Amino acid sequence: MASTLISAKLPPDVDPTKAPIAFGRRALPKLSREIQSPELLTQQRALMALCDLVHDPENVYQAVQIGFLENLKTLLLHHDSTVRQKTTEILYIMAMHNVGRQGLIQNAVIPVLTELLDDPEDICRKNTHQVLDMMAKLPEGAVDILHAGLIPLLVVRLKTESDEIQELILGTLSNCLRMEASEALATDAITILKEKLTHPSATIRNKAAQVILEIGTHPEGKSTVCEEVIPLLVSLLEDTDPEVQASAAGALMFATIKPKGRCLALRAEAIPRLLKLVAVENSKARLSAIKTLTMLAEVAEGRRKLLERTDIFQQCLRDPSEAVKRAAEIAIRVIRWKPF
């Protein structure tokens, strides 16, 4: 009679589309052999089974140890679309664990993924971009993506792909451009991003603003951003979505570091909107808004306008977040600074 105890193992499933899994440690080696078999059905079944197994981090570790990634690399270029789709899905799930990410970097999987960016199947492309997105979150992964020369390709695809994939691409770009922005600037990414800032979808606007933020952390990026994007960003400060507001405030934060950017922002009437953001108790936009106002207070004109409104900053001193308190103190100090 079956007992009511729940075991640690997954329930036995009689899914005919999956290959039967061997017991314990033998599961993955058997699947690795099946994957290399010449028959298509065996490969597909093995991939489906692997897809389920790989959700467990221990299996990910074991898979990386027994050299599964070499087989998966070969399968990425298979002619059958199901095989490719499943392989990319498996890589995505592996990339969600750090062990898997390290394994992907060591086995140089990313250059092979470049080939899949033009895959005719939507789902394969989506999975590929998901893998790249995950990889970019790791600094070494971002460096790897930069070395593989993927940035120009991704920027080009921003124009053509669907919305979902665009979000993924923007996420990848924002993490990679944190390292280095020169390639993106060379391919004129700013123009494309400007369009995205006015996209109907809020997530895309948010992510585009984040990419601009990351570009602005680099000196050469700052000048480009100053010239073209500041008015748009200031208008985004009044967007309906709070995330978008926060990202726009962050992007402005970096754009106003240079004196030129400060003047442009002041001329675009950024101060009232930023003050509105600071007054709201939402902490996401608050920190960035306070910082931006600090930047603007370095200019005499800004200081003049802000001297009247220091009460708002006094309010921020009572915020529960440590960072906001510090930022508010610095802001007050800068506003009250006099040249003599």
Partner 1 sequence: MRSAFPALPRDGCLGALQPRRCGSGSPLRPPPCCLPCARRRRRPPPCPTPTAALPAPCPPALSTEHRWRPTSRECPKHAALPECIHHPNAFEIQRQREARRKALARKRAEEQIQLRTPEPVEGREHVHVQTELYLEEISDRIIEVDVECQTDAFLDRPPTPFFVPAKTGRDVATQIEEGELFDFDIEVKPILEVLVGKTIEQALLEVMEEEELAKLLAHQRAYAELRNAELAEVQRLEEQDRRYREEKERCKQQQMEMLQKEKETMEKIAAQAFAKRYLTDLIPSVFNNLHESGFFYDPIERDIETEFLPWLMTEVEETLEKKTLGRVMLDSLIRTVTEKRLDVFSQKPLPDQVEAPAEEHRPTDNAPQVAAETEAADQAVTADEETDQPAAEDQASHHITFQSEEANQEAMEDSETD
- Interface ranges with partner 1 (CB under 8 A): 1-4, 6, 10-11, 55, 96, 137, 213, 217, 246, 250, 253-254, 257-258, 284, 287-288, 291, 294-295, 298, 323, 327, 330
Residue 151 vs 246, nearer CB to partner 1: 246
> In the complex, what is the shortest distance from the CB of residue 207 to partner 1, in angstroms, rounded to a whole number?
12
Q: Which is nearer to partner 1, 88 or 130 (CB)?
A: 130
Query: Which alpha helices (DSSP H) does 268-299 contain, by range?
Result: 270-279, 283-296
Smallest distance from partner 1 to CB 212, Å:
12
Q: What is the smallest separation between the CB atom of 257 and partner 1, expressed in angstroms?
A: 5
Give me the helix-helix angle, 283-296 and 270-279, nearest 10°. Answer: 140
Q: Packing angle between helix 98-106 and helix 81-95, nearest 10 degrees?
A: 120
| Closer by beta carbon to partner 1, 27 or else 76 | 27
How many whole angstroms separate alpha carbon 202 and alpha carbon 239? 9
76 or 211: CB nearest partner 1 = 211
Compare residues 217 and 310 and give the one whose CB is closer to partner 1.
217
What is the smallest separation between the CB atom of 254 and partner 1, expressed in angstroms?
6
- What's the rounded Cα separation, in Å, for the pair 259 and 279? 26
Integer Cα distance of 67 and 62 in angstroms:
9
> Closest approach of Cβ 266 to partner 1, in Å?
16
CB of 86 to partner 1, least distance (A): 18
Nearer to partner 1, 151 or 251 (CB): 251
CA gap 164, 145 in Å, rounded: 20
Helix (H, G, I), strand (E, B) or coil at 319: coil
Are 216 and 251 within 8 A, CB to CB?
A: yes
Cα angle 289-291-296, degrees, rounded to a multiple of 5:
95
Q: How far is the CB of 81 from partner 1 (least distance, A)?
A: 25
Are 290 and 253 within 8 A, CB to CB?
no
Exposure string for 210-233, b = 16+ CB within 10 A, e = fewer? bbbbbbbebeebbbbbbeebbebb
Q: Quick one: 83 or 142, whose CB is closer to partner 1?
A: 142
What is the full DSSP assignment across 64-77?
HHTTHHHHHHHHTT
Are 127 and 85 within 8 A, CB to CB? yes
1 vs 311, beta carbon nearer partner 1: 1
Tell me the closest approach of the beta carbon of residue 304 to partner 1, in angstroms.
Answer: 18
The one-letter amino acid at 40: L
